[in-house]
């Protein structure tokens, strides 16, 4: 048994852990990075990057459906080799993973410890035969897909985002259970690649949408690719080597089921009860999101295990915050960025700032534009969807937005920056909006919003989007 003392121990070599390690290294601290399981970050290996590669293949193929009306002939002859497409996705995945490893763990030497860490007592970790005493510990051990225990009996007929991209081929039929970001993105991509997809969610919404108008638009548009069953959980049964999936009054028999019901933390591997920190009712450490510190302890959390903002850029920020504070005696509080979430379906589904469900209807004004008349969207064959913008009624300050729109990812970023700067609807409306662009959808929503807020332009009869000089 080997004992070792360090200033900072980081558990997990994902995005959060690598960023935490970077801060400890920058501060000149003696550190170790501990990781059990696969390297290369969840994003690069099984998450955002391979899924986007698959989505791009699916999108490129799906474009053939509008070729006829654009005068492009021969689209019907286009097809896809699914094994080759999956190999392409894995090739891109491997490139991205190799880049991560080459810049991080491959260069660490003895500072990298491979194995699963467990708390022995506060400040003490066991990794295989090694005992590590750490002045500060950053927990960034990530998450894994949720698979109900009863589904284990179905063996490899149950897929997750961790196993889908390792398939040599895609099934002819699949049920996607869970219509959050992962379920929607993969479900639509598979449907566009020719797989018969059925989408199921126990909730009555998709992508976590709480805005009723945006929710209706998203369900309608995504339902063009595959049937969507909402409001009932999925029940599985054996069916002659296949799987019978029931949800309420609906039943379908499929070759495979994609479990996309979220992810669970890997804390259960960590003996977290020995860490000497407070846990909430779900067994998640109680922490300050501005310091990532657990109470008065020298334990910090970062990344998806926080169950706070399970998105890469937030994981990176949390890692930097946790690592910065772990390397110092006193904790510094950092501002968090405007909430931003994007589902890369076609159209994109985006939420920015304060979600609709958390707005006060008595003090909030809402502006919207439906994409039907938008020139650029019409040219792209994507003039369906909606942009909804929320503002404080008294001040006109923009609070949040929900978008169901092609290239919504770009509009969502713009709105996140605007919200971060506490801009008003009038201030944003007075910025240039080029024609023809998708940004004009935002312009339309702002024009709809402006009369509903109390802050009016002066003089009142002047064009709202033009600023009077004298």
| The overall pTM is greater than 0.85 | yes
Domains 2-145+264-326 and 149-261 share a fold: yes
CA–CA gap between residue 53 and residue 76 (Å, rounded): 23
CA–CA gap between residue 427 and residue 406 (Å, rounded): 25
Which of the four pLDDT bands, split at 50, 70 and 90, describes residue 255?
A: very high
Burial of 174 (0-12, 13-18, 19+ CB in 10 A): buried
Using the predicted structure, report yes or no on whether residue 393 has a pLDDT greater than 70: yes
Instruction: Indicate the domain borders of the chain.
Output: 2-145+264-326, 149-261, 340-452
CATH class (in words) of the domain with range 149-261: alpha beta
List, for residues 70-82, the tens digit of each pLDDT value: 888 888 888 899 9
Lookup: tokens for 96 = 């991205």
Segment 374-401 shows an average pLDDT of: 95
CA–CA gap between residue 260 and residue 247 (Å, rounded): 15
Lookup: tokens for 307 = 């169950």
CATH class (in words) of the domain with range 340-452: alpha beta
List, for residues 1-31, the tens digit of each pLDDT value: 688 999 999 999 888 999 999 999 999 999 9
Lookup: tokens for 243 = 């799987």
Residues in the chain: 470
In sign, the C-alpha dihedral spanning 32, 34, 39, 45 is negative
Q: What is the mean pLDDT of the chain?
A: 92
CA–CA gap between residue 296 and residue 283 (Å, rounded): 18
CATH class (in words) of the domain with range 2-145+264-326: alpha beta
CA–CA gap between residue 102 and residue 83 (Å, rounded): 28
Res 41: pLDDT: 62
Lookup: tokens for 416 = 């996140």
For 197, the enclosing helix (H) or strand (E) is strand 196-201
* φ, ψ at 7 (rounded to 5°): -75, -45
3-class DSSP state for residue 15? Answer: helix
């Amino acid at each position: 048994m080997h004992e070792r003392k360090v200033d900072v121990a980081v558990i997990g070599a994902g995005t959060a852990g690598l960023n935490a390690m970077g801060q400890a290294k920058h501060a000149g601290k003696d550190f170790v990075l501990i990781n059990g399981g696969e390297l290369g970050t969840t994003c690069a290996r099984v998450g955002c990057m391979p899924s986007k590669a698959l989505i791009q293949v699916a999108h490129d193929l799906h474009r053939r459906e509008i070729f006829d009306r654009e005068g492009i002939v021969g689209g019907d002859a286009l097809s896809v080799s699914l094994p080759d497409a999956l190999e392409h996705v894995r090739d891109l995945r491997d490139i991205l993973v190799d880049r991560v490893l080459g810049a991080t763990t491959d260069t660490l030497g003895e500072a990298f410890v491979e194995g699963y860490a467990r708390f022995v007592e506060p400040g003490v970790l066991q990794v295989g035969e090694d005992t590590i005493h750490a002045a500060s510990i950053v927990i960034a051990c990530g998450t894994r897909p949720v698979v109900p225990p009863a589904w284990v009996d179905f063996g490899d007929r149950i897929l997750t985002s961790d196993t889908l991209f390792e398939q040599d081929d895609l099934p002819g039929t699949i049920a996607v259970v869970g219509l959050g970001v992962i379920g929607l993105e993969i479900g639509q991509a598979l449907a566009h690649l020719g797989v018969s997809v059925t989408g199921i969610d126990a909730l009555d919404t998709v992508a976590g949408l709480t805005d009723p108008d945006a929710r209706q638009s998203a369900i309608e548009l995504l339902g063009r690719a595959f049937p969507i069953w909402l409001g009932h959980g999925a029940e599985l049964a054996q069916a002659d080597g296949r799987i019978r999936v029931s949800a309420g009054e609906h039943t379908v028999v499929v070759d495979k089921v994609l479990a996309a019901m979220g992810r669970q933390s890997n804390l259960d591997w960590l003996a977290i009860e020995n860490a000497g920190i407070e846990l909430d009712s779900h067994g998640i450490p109680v922490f300050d999101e501005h310091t990532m510190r657990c109470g008065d302890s020298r334990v910090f959390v970062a990344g998806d295990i926080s169950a706070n903002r399970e998105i890469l850029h937030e994981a990176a920020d949390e890692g930097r915050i946790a690592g910065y504070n772990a390397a110092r005696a006193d904790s510094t509080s950092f501002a968090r960025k405007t909430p931003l979430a994007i589902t890369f379906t076609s159209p994109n589904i985006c939420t920015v700032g304060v979600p609709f469900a958390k707005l006060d209807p008595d003090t909030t004004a809402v502006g919207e534009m439906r994409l039907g008349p938008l020139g650029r969207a019409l040219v792209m064959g994507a003039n369906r969807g909606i942009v909804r913008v929320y503002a404080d009624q008294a001040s006109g300050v923009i609070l949040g937005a929900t978008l169901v729109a092609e290239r919504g990812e770009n509009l969502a970023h713009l709105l996140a920056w605007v919200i971060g700067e506490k801009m008003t609807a009038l201030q944003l409306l007075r910025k240039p909006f080029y024609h023809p662009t998708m940004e004009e959808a935002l312009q339309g929503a702002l024009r709809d919003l402006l009369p509903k807020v109390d802050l009016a332009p002066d003089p009142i009869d002047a064009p709202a989007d033009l600023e009077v000089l004298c």
